[in-house]
Chains A and B, each alone.
Chain A
Amino acid sequence: MSEKTPEAGSSLWRDAWLRMGKNKAAMASLGVFTLIVFMCFGVAWFCKDPNAVTLTNKFASPSGEHWMGTDALGRDLFSRILYGGQISILVGLIATAVSVCIGVTYGAVSGFAGGRPDALMMRIVDTLLSIPFLVVVIVLQAVLSVWSSDTSSWIVQHWNWDKTFTDRLTNIVPLFFALGLFGWLTLARIVRAQVMSLKEREFVEAARALGYDRFRILFRHIIPNTLGPTVVYATLTVPGFIMYEATLSFLGLGVEAPNSSWGILIKEGANFMETHPALLIIPGIFFSLTLFSLNFLGDGLRDAFDVKASKD
């Protein structure tokens, strides 16, 4: 394996970092993403109240007062975008991370095992894929909305946390539950296909000949080689989760009004396409920039860790 050749001692991480550094798109993306995260989590606190309604100042153009103008209820758009970004970035990243963990493990085990276990695991995936999602959402909303307000009161009472923050937190939990239940299914299928192909390769035979047990082969040799499509698919699911969160919030299972998220801003903004396009375009730009940068970053990471990348 190339990383073990007797050159000047260089770890995998160092190599990866060096390779990343040469990838212009990836570095630029890292910069953009960091900037956006900084704005949403750092700058936001200094901005205006995103929920302050001023009915007489709707649809204002950008000004010194409101850097990006105001929305349909006179709320500052810039600050709504930043605060909304907190939710969307968190939801996107965490939901993706969870679905990657579950999906990769599940798909790899299924693909590697083959035969009956694979059939069973894949049929479970088929079943879960067919359940009408909205029904689950409605049931979850009915069941968990009570849970979330009760838990919130309990936490505020016993641990003395800030009420608004706790409310928002407990509202998000059912959301993650809903997303987490189904987000990993297609990734599992993709990883499984990769693994089924990989497990027939020579290096696996070699590992077996060396006497490695199955778990070691699976986790240390096969899964790292599935990183490519996994990273690609993972970065693609982030926007999916963000938009899904908007749908769920409208059904009472996510962000509680008047708080916003990028998904909600875009959904509301779309109705003003003909009349006030800025309400759609500006959140859309933030959304798109984040996704683009995540994707190029993902590509860069994948290239960086690709053990077979030629050392040009």
Chain B
Amino acid sequence: MSYISKKTVKKHLFGILIIFSLGGCGGETAVDQATRDGILIIGNTSEPKGLDPHIVSGVLESNIIGSLFEGLVVQHPSQEGVALPGVAEKWYPSNPDRPDEWIFELRKDAKWSDGEPLTAEDFLFAFRRILTPELASDYAFMLFYIRDAEPFHKSQRAYLIFRNDESFPVKWESLKKVDFGPNEKADKKTFNRKGLDHLTAKELETLQATPSHFNWPESVAVEIRELIVSKSLEFAKSGRDLWELINFGATAPNAHTLKVKLNAPLPFLAEITKHYTWFPVPKHVVLEHGTIGERFTDWTKPANLVGNGAFKLKSWRFNDHIEVERNPNYWDADNVGINGIRYLPISNLFTEDRMFYDGLLHITYTLAPELIEYSRTHYPEFVRNELYLGTYFIRTNVTREPFTDPRVRLAFSMALDQEAIIDNVLQGGQKPAGGLVPPFGGYPTSSAVKFDPVAAQKLLAEAGYPGGKGLPDIEFLTTDKESSKATAEAMQAIWKKHLGANIKIKQMEWTSYITNMFDKNYDLAAGGWIGDYMDPLTFLDMWMKDAGNNRTGWSSETFEKLLAEAGQTSDPQARYALLAKAESLFLNERPILPLYWYTRNYLIHPDVKGWDPLLLDNHPYKFLKLQRDTGAMEN
């Protein structure tokens, strides 16, 4: 160090500083470069669990899948509830008065990204694949509208064997009490754990010899039991696939026509096909790397993945980024506005926002609640605040005091100062929830949920807890996010103030939180629901008695009757009226306390053109353009 004199250092220091500062203003950011190259850079919150449309179930995965694959129809870039032609050029019900069978005419020039033609066969293969039990798809239920899809996926072997058997002594409906599927609560030593329908030939032989291994209800006669077991055994031994027993609703009269027969009329089937569970997968590629039910194959690796979307997979660097590039074999390739998309899995909200301000991405996944005010004040041109199809609500455990009493539930709901929480804690422009189903075109949105502390106090007194006296400590279950904590604390204070209730906040990490909720180990639990498609049913059918996502212990036969009736109604208006009636009944009993309707707050760079608000946030990337407005200088 001694031969570099202090003078020399001082002489060059200034020069060094100049070079550093020159880099500052006028230097090109990643976003500048990307806009020029036509690459859209998006924050996508986390590394995807996979890119197989039949295996994943998250929003972030669907963002990527939406660029690699295309379904029968495509979401309109700005109009809700409108479907544009995708792989299907035309679609219509065979009988407009009773839309329980739909025809999709596929375009003849549809191709996979490797040049192979895309036909109706690929759709049939895809439907069968997602319903294949061994694949263990979370989202298979999205296809249960198709005739016979559900019994196949649930492997309802016994039902399928006997339903067309005229010689069967009783009507199958009378066997409803028997659980042929797996029952996790059953005694480990019995076959009820595994479920009769899943027993292997060997196990069935054991059962034949020792009938006591399966718990049948008393009402089922012994001969019936023996008949069921023996026929199941015969089938299991034959090695046939259950697929042969069903009359699957989706068929392909020819290579470019897809016919879908449903269980009930569904006027909004096109909306449902926008979901990635209905996308085609390349039969030739999938089968090259494994069988139809094999889950861990290599077909989604960048070297192998073939899709039919506007883009194809360019690179997948684990935990770093995923990049897709133009697919020249896409039928509408000439009209695709951008050249590629890069997805960055940024999990920390603040980091993502800071990266945006540092010119590293075009669109963020979200905007941290703490930064919403700040961003709106200093950078309003970047901030978007849009309605999102979802509701945030608090589940009540109706099997535990005090929420066994609907008056208490209503009291707690009415004492909830929704606006105070939204304006002061969340600050994301959310809408106070008037009911369960968020507002969207055509459906009569409920306004039954209102803040009315006086009425709440009266109800609580009526229920036997005047001023909150006698109320037990109420456990409020929530996650470990800071925003969840703040919201919970605000509600705790509000309920204490208006009802005199003592809320104990139980924070825990996500899986413990879900597990405790599923086990009904709570009094109140924070939660919410985001719609899968544009119809009130996605918010209502989860409250049926056996619905997996209910978790409150509430059920109502009238409610389910209304839903069933709506399921058979073809006229959209009449159907909405029935669903609204069901929602109204639901809200009168208030097993959940709706708080707000979701909004999405995020940052978007002005270079991105064609990105309009959509309730399901399912933006079709092909309609976007990247353009630098002249005269604007980045800093």
Which residues of A are interface residues toward B (Cβ below 8 A)? 51-53, 55-56, 58, 72-74, 138, 141-142, 145, 167, 249-252, 256-258, 267-268, 271-272, 274-275
Nearest opposing residue in chain B for A56, CB measure: B424
A139 to chain B, nearest CB (A): 10
Which residues of A are found within 8 Å of B492, using beta-carbon distances? 53, 257-258
Taking a contact as CB atoms under 8 Å apart, the answer to whether B425 and A55 are in contact is yes
Nearest opposing residue in chain A for B420, CB measure: A55
Distance A99 CA – B269 CA, assembled complex (angstroms): 64
Taking a contact as CB atoms under 8 Å apart, the answer to whether A256 and B482 are in contact is no
Nearest opposing residue in chain B for A51, CB measure: B493
A251 contact from B373, B493, B508, Cβ within 8 A? B508
B509 contact from A55, A138, A275, Cβ within 8 A? A138
Contact of B489 with A by CB under 8 A: yes
Q: Which of B368, B421, B485 is most buried by chain A, counting CB atoms within 10 A of its CB?
A: B485
A120 to chain B, nearest CB (A): 35
Which residues of A are found within 8 Å of B488, using beta-carbon distances? 257
Distance A256 CA – B424 CA, assembled complex (angstroms): 22
Mark each residue of chain B from 476 to 514: 1 if its CB lies under 8 Å from any CB of chain A, else 0.
Answer: 000010100110111011100000000011111100100
Taking a contact as CB atoms under 8 Å apart, the answer to whether A53 and B485 are in contact is no
- Further pairs besides A73-B493, A250-B480, A257-B505: 7, Cβ < 8 Å: A53-B489, A72-B425, A72-B486, A73-B424, A138-B512, A257-B485, A268-B482
Which residues of B are found within 8 Å of A56, using beta-carbon distances? 420, 424
Mark each residue of chain B from 45 to 62: 1 if its CB lies under 8 Å from any CB of chain A, else 0.
Answer: 000000000000000000
Mind listing 21 A-B residue pairs with CB under 8 Å? A53-B489, A53-B490, A55-B420, A55-B421, A55-B423, A56-B424, A73-B424, A73-B425, A73-B490, A74-B424, A138-B512, A142-B512, A250-B485, A251-B480, A251-B508, A252-B506, A257-B485, A257-B488, A258-B489, A258-B505, A272-B370
Taking a contact as CB atoms under 8 Å apart, the answer to whether A252 and B508 are in contact is yes
Which residues of A are found within 8 Å of B493, using beta-carbon distances? 51-53, 55, 73, 258
Which applies to chain A's interface (DSSP): helix, strand, loop or mixed? loop
Nearest opposing residue in chain B for A72, CB measure: B486
Which residues of A are found within 8 Å of B509, using beta-carbon distances? 138, 251-252
Which 3 residue pairs are nearest across A and B when measured between Cβ atoms? A53-B493, A55-B424, A252-B508
Mark each residue of chain B from 413 to 425: 1 if its CB lies under 8 Å from any CB of chain A, else 0.
Answer: 0000000110111
Taking a contact as CB atoms under 8 Å apart, the answer to whether B507 and A252 are in contact is yes
What is the interface residue range for chain B against chain A? 20 to 34
Q: Which of A74, A167, A274 is most buried by chain B, counting CB atoms within 10 A of its CB?
A: A274
Contact of B374 with A by CB under 8 A: yes
Contact of B371 with A by CB under 8 A: yes
A70 to chain B, nearest CB (A): 12
Taking a contact as CB atoms under 8 Å apart, the answer to whether B486 and A73 are in contact is yes
Which residues of A are found within 8 Å of B490, using beta-carbon distances? 53, 55, 73
Distance A272 CA – B505 CA, assembled complex (angstroms): 23
Nearest opposing residue in chain A for B475, CB measure: A149
Which residues of B are interface residues toward A (Cβ below 8 A)? 350, 368, 370-371, 373-374, 420-421, 423-425, 480, 482, 485-486, 488-490, 492-494, 504-509, 512
B150 to chain A, nearest CB (A): 35
Taking a contact as CB atoms under 8 Å apart, the answer to whether A250 and B374 are in contact is no
A39 to chain B, nearest CB (A): 24
Nearest opposing residue in chain B for A249, CB measure: B507
Distance A251 CA – B480 CA, assembled complex (angstroms): 6
Interface Cβ pair total, 8 Å cutoff: 77
Nearest opposing residue in chain A for B488, CB measure: A257
Distance A138 CA – B486 CA, assembled complex (angstroms): 22
Which residues of A are found within 8 Å of B486, using beta-carbon distances? 72-73, 268
Distance A224 CA – B370 CA, assembled complex (angstroms): 51
Distance A142 CA – B513 CA, assembled complex (angstroms): 10
Nearest opposing residue in chain B for A55, CB measure: B424
B374 contact from A53, A58, A145, A275, Cβ within 8 A? A275
A170 to chain B, nearest CB (A): 12
Distance A58 CA – B490 CA, assembled complex (angstroms): 12
Which residues of B are found within 8 Å of A272, using beta-carbon distances? 370
Which residues of A are found within 8 Å of B373, using beta-carbon distances? 275
Which residues of B are found within 8 Å of A257, using beta-carbon distances? 485, 488-489, 492, 505, 507
Distance A274 CA – B379 CA, assembled complex (angstroms): 14
Taking a contact as CB atoms under 8 Å apart, the answer to whether B482 and A267 are in contact is yes
Distance A53 CA – B370 CA, assembled complex (angstroms): 18
Nearest opposing residue in chain A for B373, CB measure: A275
Taking a contact as CB atoms under 8 Å apart, the answer to whether B489 and A73 are in contact is yes
Which residues of B are found within 8 Å of A256, using beta-carbon distances? 504-506
Distance A44 CA – B507 CA, assembled complex (angstroms): 26
Nearest opposing residue in chain A for B507, CB measure: A252
A260 to chain B, nearest CB (A): 10
Known: A72-B425, A267-B482. Is A274-B505 also a contact (CB below 8 A)? no
Distance A142 CA – B519 CA, assembled complex (angstroms): 13
Taking a contact as CB atoms under 8 Å apart, the answer to whether A274 and B507 are in contact is no
Which residues of A are found within 8 Å of B368, using beta-carbon distances? 271
Taking a contact as CB atoms under 8 Å apart, the answer to whether A271 and B424 are in contact is no
Which residues of A are found within 8 Å of B507, using beta-carbon distances? 249-252, 257
A141 contact from B424, B485, B508, Cβ within 8 A? B508
Nearest opposing residue in chain A for B478, CB measure: A257
Taking a contact as CB atoms under 8 Å apart, the answer to whether A275 and B512 are in contact is no
Distance A275 CA – B377 CA, assembled complex (angstroms): 11
Taking a contact as CB atoms under 8 Å apart, the answer to whether B506 and A145 are in contact is yes
Distance A81 CA – B530 CA, assembled complex (angstroms): 38
A108 to chain B, nearest CB (A): 37
Distance A268 CA – B484 CA, assembled complex (angstroms): 12
Q: Which of B421, B425, B508 is most buried by chain A, counting CB atoms within 10 A of its CB?
A: B508
B632 to chain A, nearest CB (A): 24
Which residues of B are found within 8 Å of A275, using beta-carbon distances? 370-371, 373-374
Which residues of A are found within 8 Å of B489, using beta-carbon distances? 53, 73, 257-258
Taking a contact as CB atoms under 8 Å apart, the answer to whether B371 and A141 are in contact is no
Nearest opposing residue in chain B for A268, CB measure: B482
Which residues of B are found within 8 Å of A53, using beta-carbon distances? 489-490, 492-494
A254 to chain B, nearest CB (A): 10
Nearest opposing residue in chain A for B521, CB measure: A146
Known: A55-B424, A142-B512, A256-B505. Is A271-B370 also a contact (CB below 8 A)? yes
Which residues of A are found within 8 Å of B370, using beta-carbon distances? 72, 271-272, 275
A87 to chain B, nearest CB (A): 16
Distance A167 CA – B425 CA, assembled complex (angstroms): 27
A173 to chain B, nearest CB (A): 16
Which residues of B are found within 8 Å of A167, using beta-carbon distances? 504
Distance A56 CA – B420 CA, assembled complex (angstroms): 8
Distance A55 CA – B422 CA, assembled complex (angstroms): 10
Which residues of B are found within 8 Å of A274, using beta-carbon distances? 371, 374
Distance A142 CA – B512 CA, assembled complex (angstroms): 8
Nearest opposing residue in chain B for A137, CB measure: B509
Distance A73 CA – B490 CA, assembled complex (angstroms): 7
Nearest opposing residue in chain B for A279, CB measure: B370
Distance A298 CA – B424 CA, assembled complex (angstroms): 44
Which residues of B are found within 8 Å of A138, using beta-carbon distances? 509, 512
Distance A138 CA – B508 CA, assembled complex (angstroms): 8
Distance A138 CA – B511 CA, assembled complex (angstroms): 10
Q: Which of B373, B420, B509 is most buried by chain A, counting CB atoms within 10 A of its CB?
A: B509
Nearest opposing residue in chain B for A71, CB measure: B486
Nearest opposing residue in chain B for A252, CB measure: B508
Distance A55 CA – B486 CA, assembled complex (angstroms): 11
Distance A271 CA – B512 CA, assembled complex (angstroms): 25
Distance A274 CA – B508 CA, assembled complex (angstroms): 27
Distance A117 CA – B508 CA, assembled complex (angstroms): 40
Distance A268 CA – B368 CA, assembled complex (angstroms): 13
Which residues of B are found within 8 Å of A72, using beta-carbon distances? 370, 425, 486
A276 to chain B, nearest CB (A): 8
